[in-house]
Amino acid sequence: MYGVRLQDPLDLAGWRRAARALRLGGVAPEQVAWRVGDASGGLFDGPPPPEPPSGAGFSAPRELLDLAADLVCHRSDDRFDLLYRLLWRLKDEPALLRITTDADVAEAHLRRKAVQQATHKMHAFVRFRLVNPAFEAAGERETYVAWFEPPHRVLTRGIDYFVKRMGRLAFSILTPDACAHWDGAGGLSFTPGLERREAPGEDELETYWRTYFASVFNPARVNPRLMTQHMPRRYWGNLPEAAVIPELAAAARGRTDAMVEAAPTPPSPRTGRVQVKRAPAPPPPDAAPADLPEVAAAIQACRRCDLWRHATQGVPGEGPPQAPLMLVGEQPGDMEDLAGHPFVGPAGEVLNRALAEAGVNREEAYVTNAVKHFKHELRGKRRLHSRPNGTEIEACRWWLQTERRLVRPKVIVALGATAATAVFGRALSVLKNRGVVGEVEGGGLGFLTVHPSYLLRIPEPGEKARAYDAFVADLAAAHALLKAA
Amino acid sequence: MATLTLRRKLEILADAAKYDASCASSGGRKRDSRDGQGIGAINGMGVCHAYTPDGRCVSLLKILLTNFCVFDCAYCINRLSSNVERARFSVEEVVRLTLDFYKRNYIEGLFLSSGVIRSADYTQEQLNLVAKTLRETHGYRGYIHLKIVAGASPELATEAGFYADRLSVNVELPDETALARLAPEKTPGEIKRAMGVVRLGIEGGKGRSYTGKTARVFASAGQSTQMIVGADAATDTEILARSESLYGSYGLKRVYYSAFSPIPDSSAALPSERPHLMREHRLYQADWLMRFYGFEREEIASAAPGGMLDPALDPKLAWALANRDRFPVNVNRADRELLLRIPGLGVKAVNRLIGVRRHKRLTLEDLRRASGGLKRVRPFVTTADWSPGGLTDSETLSARLAGAAKAAEPHQLTLF
């Protein structure tokens, strides 16, 4: 039987040195007793381990060293035994640490979890007290001190969190094991543990904190078991808010009963005095809007088909009220639906570029869509465009007719098949009929070309470029009609 | 009118804010004050600094700027016609409280909302001003969650996104026609438009501008929303359909479900009953199954007769019991997707088992160590040393597991 004495409870380096020597010396885990500090050893304290043969070596996996760094913080007495047992077994079972359901590995992970949780709870439950309220007058650095009793030795492991958030403020965290001190200017130091009586007393803000804690609690949801699961009683001694928990929990049932049984109260006298902005009532479904702003407002209340339900908003057309050129697309896409403007997504970019190359100023055209709400289906977390059907196109045609009646364009360019159906009132093959289609019922010369999103879907670069050039040529031709018309 | 003390205001305006379920401080761009220039940090994981006796986490100072409100939403304690005592914080008071609480490690940050006063724009300006003062005057780098007031201008919503880590707009009720009845001043359109503006801001903040500069960080912890459950007639499957549409349309990080709670001074328009906490819990479970376990909404709905999730069984177990022909699953061979369907195995347990089975054949003992309990798992799996035989199809299985489920999740059951 060998005995190893480590300097302090967190002596990871000491454990590594000894464990290395033990394993090289072929000493099995059952033959080692691990002790910490000067405490007198038990009956089984034996001689120190043999010196390893020089030049001999082995490498321990990184994972074990990481695990060891966490496990030394655990307050169990046999943590060093467990770690050495893992190191020993790795000799014959190199994949051991990946078998996380092995009894030893699972036990190590449970303890690591306890250490991680204790660290997390320290971040949560440390309560600082301001120790120099007159710091400004005294020309001192604002300084906070906390007393804390972690279930595991996690002060060093978790101190970074406080340094990061306190910045230029100075603080100390005092615990029975050790104390940490941050000077607010880059200096972090540690001193030995203290007793509770050396920690500062009340802070006047604690009254406010208790008030907040009590007020944010909803008695109708009382569930003390869930609370203690997350905030175990062992921490309560150092939490100023814990003092009010018993009375809050005790009164909860009575408060809830009172709310449930109370009759509704009559409206407050303030009610009549305050001017309330009611939502504008939707216009009657067939009232013809008198101008474009009215169109934009009325589209939001449109219920001519069901597409409004899953869309963010109706997207009206945009452009000069007397634009000679009107461009009609299919329907708003994902981006248009969010922004509330037509052609602002990827297809809009293609359109803008093509218009510029065709010498057409988009600002001079009235740009709109055949269908005003975004029709889509959900695919995972994305909305995929789906083509509006005949009923929806027909329902929305009323809006396009209204826009045409108000704008009175000389030339109307339908972009793609849906727009063709809406503009010409019948289905037309785009590629067979592209170019001038003829006079449109209700006025204006009708022109048909592809939808810019069609260009985005062509995979072959050469073909894509040719199709794009043809699109630009179409836009230029439609624009030229304005002079002729 | 007598002036209220700061403590009394805190009491009123925390009480007024507590019906909003969200208190998360997770996400957000990591940053700290090590450089000595500011105060506060964000670690990305979030920290719950306390738990109230309802078991809810207190992570943020969650308050209203004011509970004066010109809206009259029947479900809300702060509605115009409520007789509740009113208060209003000054911008400076909220800033002081936030910093004082933050320095003492009570909170991770601020969650600020408000009743609507004067107009949506005016209210939003006041909320933004608090965040701006914290960030610019005090160098505050901790977490800020701001409410977007539906109807506020896109410019103000965008400004809020530059100061806040998270933004939220509450859809309030799953059913839009019920919203028109119970919250007559709110319109679903305004709520959806506000969420659209936020999504555009978030997506703009992730990219680089055409000059190659990184765009200004915008609400890096994303956006969330809340639905009140039980104040209208929407069924669970209708609520889940609404969530699915909201997640997909606006890239939400979270949809919070908040069981309609009785309030002091209730309105005649709504029944005052105890909150349906179990219903809320089941909705969260179903939401999780859809987002992290690969379940389709239709699959969950198929095990929810009448559109309502079974209160006695978690939705995954209910689905498994209704689809027993898919079981038992051989845990040594099944792919990840199928392992996630096994009742009692969470994402972490599945990941562990996949790691372990590369090295050895899985036994029941491995499952026990990976999952922490076998009661729900056993009827649905085969392992190297276990086959459920007739157990999977046993007629009494449902009843027995309902009992086991009850024991396994005590925290959300009826409390009285």
pLDDT digits (tens, 9 = 90+) for A178-209: 999 999 999 999 999 999 999 988 899 999 99
Cis peptide leading into residue A269 (ω within 30°): no
- Give the strand pairing for B50-51 and B57-58: antiparallel
Please tell me which residue, B66 or B406, carries the higher pLDDT value: B66
**pLDDT for res B413:** 38
Give me the residues of A, 401-430, that contact B with CB < 8 A. none
% of chain B at pLDDT higher than 90: 81
Q: Please, which pLDDT band fits residue A439 given cuts at 50, 70 and 90?
A: very high
Judge whether residue B415 has pLDDT over 50: no
Asked whether the predicted pLDDT for residue A2 surpasses 60, the reply is yes
**Mean pLDDT score of chain A:** 93
Chains A & B: contacts with CB separation below 8 Å: 273
Q: What is the mean pLDDT of residues B94-101?
A: 98
Which residue from B minimizes the CA distance to A215?
Answer: B15
CB contact under 8 A, B358 and A98: yes
Superfamily of domain A292-484: Uracil-DNA glycosylase-like domain (3.40.470.10)
What residues in B contact A382, CB-CB < 8 Å? 248
Going by C-alpha positions, the residue among B90, B135, B87 that lies closest to residue B109 is B135
- For residue A274, the chain B residues in CB contact (below 8 A) are 70, 80
Taking CA atoms, what residue in A is nearest to B186?
Answer: A279
CA distance B391 to chain A (A): 25
Is some CB atom of chain B closer than 8 A to the CB atom of A222?
yes
Residues of B in contact with A220 (CB under 8 A): 261-262, 274-275
Tell me what the mean pLDDT of segment A217-238 comes to. Answer: 96
Nearest to B275 among A185, A203, A220 (CB): A220
Contact B18 A215 (CB under 8 A): yes
Q: Are A471 and A354 in contact (CB under 8 A)?
A: yes
pLDDT, position B406: 59
Task: Look at A256 and B262 and tell me if their CB atoms are within 8 Å.
Answer: yes
Give the residue-averaged pLDDT of B367-395.
92
Lowest mean pLDDT of A220-224, B9-13, B397-401, name the range: B397-401
Model confidence at B392, pLDDT cuts 50, 70, 90, reads confident
pLDDT confidence of residue A45: 67
Question: Considering only CB atoms, which chain B residues are within 8 Å of A261?
Answer: 272
pLDDT tens-digit profile of B356-376?
Answer: 999 999 999 999 999 988 999
Interface contact flag, B142 A125, Cβ < 8 Å: no
Nearest CB partner across the interface for B38, out of A167, A264, A382: A167
Residue A107 Cα, gap to closest chain B Cα (Å): 9
Q: Do B40 and A167 touch (CB under 8 A)?
A: yes
| Candidate from A165, A214, A231 with C-beta closest to B33 | A165
Residue A268 has pLDDT above 90, yes or no: no
Quote the pLDDT of residue B236: 97
Residues in chain B within 8 Å Cβ distance of A163: 34
ipTM over the 0.90 cut-off? yes
Contact residues on chain A for B106, CB-CB shorter than 8 A:
127, 209
Q: Looking at chain A from residue 356 to 395, which residues have their Cβ under 8 Å from any Cβ of chain B?
A: 378, 380-383
Q: How far apart are CA B27 and CA A83, in angstroms?
A: 34
Of B72, B105, B370, nearest to A127 by CB-CB distance is B105
CA atoms within 13 A on the CB side of A195: 1
Answer whether A268 sits within 8 Å of B192, measured CB to CB.
no
Say whether residue A161 is in contact with chain B using an 8 A CB cutoff.
Answer: yes
Residue boundaries of the structural domains of chain A: 2-122, 126-198, 205-256, 292-484
Chain B contact set for A226 (CB, 8 A): 51, 54-55, 411-412
Q: What is the 3-state secondary structure (H, E, C) of chain A?
A: CEEEEECCCCCHHHHHHHHHHHHHCCCCHHHEEEEECCCCCCCCCCCCCCCCCCCCCCCCCHHHHHHHHHHCCCCCCCHHHHHHHHHHHHCCCCCHHHCCCCHHHHHHHHHHHHHHHHHHHHHHHCCCEECCCCHHHHCCCCEEEEECCCCCCCHHHHCHHHHHHHCCCEEEEECCCEEEEECCCCCEEEEECCCHHHCCCCCCHHHHHHHHHHHCCCHHHCCHHHHHHHCCHHHHHHCHHHHHHHHHHHHHHHHHHHHHHCCCCCCCCHHHHCCCCCCCCCCCCCCCCCCHHHHHHHHCCCCCCCHHHHCCCCCCCECCCCCCEEEEECCCCHHHHHHCCCCCCHHHHHHHHHHHHCCCCHHHEEEEECCCCCCEEEECCEEEECCCCHHHHHHHHHHHHHHHHHHCCCEEEEEHHHHHHHHHCCCCCHHHHCEEEEECCCCCEEEEECCHHHHHHCCCHHHHHHHHHHHHHHHHHHHHHHHHC
Indicate which of B249, B293, B298 best probes the interface with A, i.e. most A CBs within 10 Å of its own CB: B249
Give the chain B residue whose CA is nearest to the CA of A232: B51
Q: What pLDDT is attached to residue B411?
A: 45
User: How much is the average pLDDT of B297-304?
Assistant: 94
Query: Which residues on B lie below 8 Å from A218 (Cβ)?
Result: 18-19, 52, 54, 56, 261
The residue in chain B having the minimum alpha-carbon distance to the alpha carbon of residue A263 is B266
Check CB contact under 8 Å for A216 and B101. no
Q: From the list B14, B56, B71, which residue is nearest A215 (CB)?
A: B14
Mean pLDDT of B70-97: 95
What's the CA gap between B67 and B311, in Å, rounded? 35
Q: Do B10 and A215 touch (CB under 8 A)?
A: yes
Question: Does pLDDT of A283 surpass 80?
Answer: no
pLDDT band at B207 (very low <50, low <70, confident <90, very high): low
Of A203, A270, A383, the CB nearest to B249: A383
Q: Considering only CB atoms, which chain A residues are within 8 Å of B273?
A: 260
Lowest mean pLDDT among A6-20, A64-78, B258-272: B258-272
- Of residues A483 and A79, more confidence is placed in A79
Tell how far CA B137 is from the center of its chain. Answer: 31
Over 90: is that where the pLDDT of B404 sits? no
- Chain A hits for B266, CB-CB cut-off 8 Å, are 259, 262, 264-265
Q: Do B193 and A313 touch (CB under 8 A)?
A: yes
Contact between residue B53 and residue A227 where contact means Cβ atoms under 8 Å apart: yes
Interface test with B, best of A110, A130, A161, A218 (most B CBs within 10 A): A218
Is some CB atom of chain B closer than 8 A to the CB atom of A170? no
Q: What is the reported pLDDT for A274?
A: 73
Chain A hits for B410, Cβ within 8 Å: 225
Distance from CA of B187 to the nearest CA of A (A): 7
Average pLDDT over residues B177-205: 92
Chain B contact for A282 (CB, 8 A cutoff): no
* Closest residue of chain B to A259, computed from CA coordinates: B264
Q: Which residues does chain B have within 8 Å of residue A245's beta carbon, measured at their own beta carbons?
A: 53
As a whole number, mean pLDDT of residues A371-385 equals: 92
% of chain B residues with pLDDT over 70: 94
Asked if A209's CB is within 8 angstroms of B196's CB, the reply is no
Average pLDDT of the segment spanning A139-152: 97
Q: What is the mean pLDDT of residues A231-247?
A: 97
Check B197 against A338: CB less than 8 A apart.
yes
A273 has a chain B CB within 8 A of its CB: no
**Minimum Cα–Cα distance from B98: chain A residue:** A209
Q: Tell me whether residues B101 and A205 touch, CB distance under 8 A.
A: yes
CATH of domain B6-270: 3.20.20.70
pLDDT of residue B407: 52
Mean pLDDT, range A470-484, rounded to an integer: 94
Task: Nearest by CB to A100, from B41, B352, B411: name it.
Answer: B352
**Scanning every residue of chain B, which has its alpha carbon at the shortest distance from the alpha carbon of A338?**
B196
Tell if the CB–CB gap between A312 and B195 is shorter than 8 Å: yes
Average pLDDT, integer, range A134-159: 97
pLDDT, mean of residues A154-159: 97
Name, in order, each residue with C-beta under 8 angstroms of B181's C-beta and a sequence gap of 6 or more: B269
| pLDDT tens digits, A13-62 | 999 999 999 999 999 999 999 999 866 555 556 787 777 777 778 889 99
Nearest to B197 by CA among B226, B218, B221, B228: B218
A167 vs B: CB within 8 A: yes
B-facing residues of A in 38-97 (CB < 8 A) are: 95
